[in-house]
């Protein structure tokens, strides 16, 4: 997956905090699978108050699949 330089997804999604647990709201648990260990490291979205929502790497891949690679032509001489 092509993450940005800060380890975030290119497009941010806003999550509803009412459907999340406190651990998910504070970034201590994955927003998808609720896994707390190892701590999720990929920022996949935000809450309405601009705090970060985190996911583990596998769940982030499922939320935002990798884009197809761009094919570049070889330079001509």
The domain limits of the chain are 19-63
Q: What is the pLDDT of residues 46-60, one digit of tens each?
A: 999 989 999 998 888
> How many CB atoms within 10 Å of residue 28?
14
In terms of Cβ atoms closer than 10 Å to its own Cβ (0-12, 13-18, 19+), residue 75 is exposed
pLDDT tens digits, one per residue of 26-47: 999 999 999 998 889 989 889 9
Cα pseudo-dihedral 50, 13, 10, 60, rounded to 10? 110
More confident residue, 64 or 27: 27
Predicted confidence (pLDDT) at residue 73 exceeds the cutoff of 80: no
Q: In whole angstroms, how far apart are CA 18 and each of 48, 72, 74?
A: 11, 45, 51
Q: Is residue 20's pLDDT more than 90? A: yes
Q: Residue 23 pLDDT > 80, yes or no? A: yes
The three-state secondary structure class of 37 is: coil
């Amino acid at each position: 997956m092509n993450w940005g330089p800060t380890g975030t997804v290119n497009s941010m999604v806003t999550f509803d905090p009412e459907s999340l647990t406190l651990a998910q709201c504070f970034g201590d648990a994955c927003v998808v699978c609720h896994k707390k260990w190892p701590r999720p490291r990929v920022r996949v979205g935000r809450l309405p108050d601009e705090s970060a929502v985190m996911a583990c790497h596998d769940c982030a891949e499922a939320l935002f699949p990798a884009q197809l690679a761009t094919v570049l032509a070889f330079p001509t001489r």
